[in-house]
Amino acid sequence: MYTTPFCPYCEMVKALLNHHGIAFREVDVRSDQKAAKEMVSKSGQDGVPVVEIDDKIIVGFDSEKILEALGL
């Protein structure tokens, strides 16, 4: 999951994943420019959160899409 500090929607995604016991890796694109470029390349967006589940990219906090991609 691509995030930035103090992003309320990123916190909502993390809470959703934690609630379901889903492990995730958080990448702070504010401090990692290479990751930021990778995120934009994958998603076409420069806003966060961007969640990558398998090969699916979900931009923003969309609980339905996230849970669907996780098979929940």
pLDDT band of residue 29 (cuts 50, 70, 90) is: very high
27: enclosing H helix or E strand: strand 27-28
- How far are the Cα atoms of 22, 25, 50, 65, 72 from residue 3, in angstroms, in the given order? 17, 10, 7, 18, 23
Rounding to the nearest 10 degrees, give the CA dihedral for residues 59, 23, 9, 70. 40
Domain parsing of the chain, residue ranges: 2-69
Assign 44 a pLDDT band (cuts: 50, 70, 90). very high
Give the CATH superfamily of 2-69: Glutaredoxin (3.40.30.10)
Residue that has been written with the tokens 């992003």 in this structure: 7
Q: How confident is the model at residue 52 (pLDDT cuts 50, 70, 90)?
A: very high
Assess contact for 53 and 70: CB atoms under 8 A: yes
Q: pTM, whole model, 2 decimals?
A: 0.90
**Cross-strand pairs, 51:** 58
